[in-house]
A and B are shown apart, each in its own frame.
Chain A
Amino acid sequence: MSALAHVGGTSGTTGAGPAGDAPPQERAGRRWLPYLLLLPGGLWLLVFFVVPLLQLFTVSIQSQFPGYPGYYYRDVNFSNYLRALTDFAPQFGRSLLFAALATFFAFALAYPLAYAMAFKAGRWRNIMLIAVIAPFFTSFILRTVAWRQILADDGPVASTLNALHLLPGGRITETAAAVVAGLTYNFLPFMVLPIYASLERADARVIEAGGDLYANGFTTFRTVTLPMSMPGVIAGTLLTFIPAAGDYVNAELLGSDGDKMVGNVIDSQFFRVLGGFPTAAALSFTLMALILAMVFVYIRRFGTEELL
């Protein structure tokens, strides 16, 4: 999320650029206006993003006070990063894998849904929109806890599947599949809404023109509709992947002890391990940097002008 905030901040500053370079004879008040408008947001970012980030960084390179577990002194100790990454590489990899899988499944579910909402729903459109947004009205932790109840061994889903011998492990909760399913479910609206927005904006006449030019339905979709919805797809995948990679609630509630993600490690290093602050900070910082780098590569490769 913070990565996104950062991107947002940058684009905001760029937007102010032309006004700042305005010719000098312009009235002073007008020249300052963009900065005045930027001030609240800028201060907000400064206090709640830049300062905590610096603080996080100083924590990530501090050292344990010898002989006093749980106490630290300020240091420049980058071995924290090395140790954190070697010790928790599996969880790191799992986070990226689960987030990628969840993004894929969310895309597979969301695109037809958004397509139906944009082109086929007719008067059902608003109801479908509400159905997509409504889950936001309850806390997502509560919804995940509810999943635990629904998927419990004695619950309707697991007992039905077990009766049909369709469940290899005999259970649904405490499996990696449950974690990916939970992530997919929790971030699905973030995928649906941007795709829907870009499809809904698409000019229907352009799509019709595809048919007029003797393209069949699939070719029209591939060459006309899909490219037009790409900004929504990019935004949706980012909005799903980034929070999913940092999520720990789903792995905590739906996964087993072998399905922990990097968020769980940060949580336990921070709250449960004496002297774990630097490790937790180093992992947070690495995760953030890694996601930021991946996002930039992704946008460079697939991105469109409309996004940034």
Chain B
Amino acid sequence: MRGLVRAARTSQLSRRSLLGGATLGGAAAALSACAPPAPPAGGAAALKLPDDLSDTEKVVRWANWTAYLDYDEDTKQYPTLQAFIKDTGIQATYSEDIEDNDAYFNKIAPQLRGKQDIGKDIFVFTDWMANRVIRDQLAQPLEIIRMPNASNLLDSLKDVSFDPGRQYSLTWQSGFAGIGYDKARLGREIKSLDDLWQDDLKGRIVVLSEFRDTVALVMQSQGVDITQGWGKAEFEKGVAVIQEKLDQGYIRKIKGNSYLEDLKSGNALAGIVWSGDLFILRAETENDNWEFVIPESGGTLWSDNMMVPITSTHRRNAMTLMNYYYDPAVAAQVAAWVNYVCPVTGPRRSSPRATPSWPRARSSSRPRTTSRRRTSRASGRSRPRRTRSSAASGRR
């Protein structure tokens, strides 16, 4: 570019040559800059990791979802994270960058694939997206030996299909997708999806744009076992129901995390929702009539997983942080605030109050189905409230 400026200054320029030069320069710059990154080499190709600078640069940069870490409204700080900084001297920066798996992944993917630093040392993705990140070799392997607390991970989460033996990821929190509704306003109970598609709810239902949750719930209501033995036909049958309910006007809108706003404003009275959100809704609307149920046919259980991006140069600091959050005492503190299902074994015994209800079937060999039990519970204590921007409000 500087050359172009110099050329423009020194030569006798006509307008045409300036434009020509500009076009040529632009074309050259564009062509050299825009080559799409190549896919990872297949097979047992060794992963090329960046040099680890953890010893000299005491920082770790963490991207997480909204309302997903204990937060003190008065001091505007994250108490557990402050304690971590104090203990280890590692300056941890925390940002609520992720409001949607697809959107965040697609935002950082071009840089990750081009091996350019994304400015994060830990990011958190739901199972299926973690699968993609690991498959595309965009995460760094973890060294379990540096994380003694990782053995506190629930047994059922230790050997997940997308990351056998947890070589790349550690669970942050888990939760459910089910049906949420205002019991008092509706005046009846909802137990299944069929109770949802009723005329008194016509045009007042929102469903999640996360189709792994919405379609899975519908498929389960059709008698499909979502953990195994289904294919395109079953999936399309599930999608067809959603299309039908959309066309008939039962579903008002398919929404991302902003469905909470519709429940609050009264546009929607019920919907397919994430478990923890209903607790947020109870606290924010001060209305204990919001109920969360897992339909009789079954709901979904998901986990969000911490991983180290392939571009991170602070992987050891990141592992120190993960190890810290797997300390049962710390995990209990987080679990008490976020109202999700804690993946760390310790706090279940040490502090039963902090343990959200955890269906029995959860510990079976099928980690993705949940029992028919209702998981709502009256939460008497008021949850610390946070200012939440309406556009990027907490999901789930």
**Interface set of A (CB-CB < 8 Å, partner B):** 13, 16-17, 20, 35, 39, 42-43, 46-47, 50-51, 54-55, 58-59, 62, 65, 67-68, 70-74, 141, 145, 148-149, 152-155, 169-171, 173-174, 256-258, 270-272, 274
Contacts and interface: CB of A to CB of B under 8 A. Distances in A.
A134 to B, nearest CB: 21
Given A35-B8, A55-B33, A55-B34, A270 B22 contact: no
Contact of A74 (B15, B36, B266, B267): B36
A72 B113 CA distance: 11
B166 interface: no
Given A72-B36, A73-B38, A171-B252, 9 more contacts: A35-B13, A46-B26, A58-B30, A62-B36, A65-B38, A152-B266, A153-B266, A154-B265, A272-B103
Contacts of A141: 391
Contacts of A35: 8, 13, 18
A271 B36 contact: no
B22 A59 contact: no
- The interface centre, meaning the residue of B15, B35, B246, B267 with most chain A CB atoms within 10 A of its CB, is B267
Interface residues of B, number: 46
Contact of B106 (A62, A72, A271): A271
Given A16-B15, A54-B27, A173-B267, A257 B254 contact: yes
A155 B265 contact: yes
A54 B35 CA distance: 12
Contacts of B252: 171, 174, 256
A256 B109 CA distance: 30
A118 B58 CA distance: 64
Interface in B262-284: 265-267
Interface of B: 1, 5, 8, 13-15, 18-19, 22-23, 25-27, 29-31, 33-40, 100, 102-103, 106-107, 109, 113, 132, 136, 203-204, 246, 251-254, 261, 265-267, 390-391
Nearest to B261: A148
B36 A71 contact: yes
Contacts of B254: 257
Given A50-B26, A173-B267, A71 B34 contact: no
Contacts of A50: 22-23, 26
Contacts of A74: 35-36
6 contacts: A17-B15, A35-B8, A39-B5, A58-B34, A59-B36, A71-B38
Q: Which 10 A-B pairs have the closest CB atoms?
A: A154-B266, A68-B39, A54-B30, A152-B265, A72-B36, A71-B39, A272-B102, A50-B26, A271-B103, A55-B34
Contact of B22 (A46, A70, A149, A169): A46
Contact of A42 (B18, B38, B102): B18
A173 B203 CA distance: 11
Contact of B246 (A16, A149, A155, A257): A257
Contacts of A58: 30-31, 34
Contacts of B261: 148
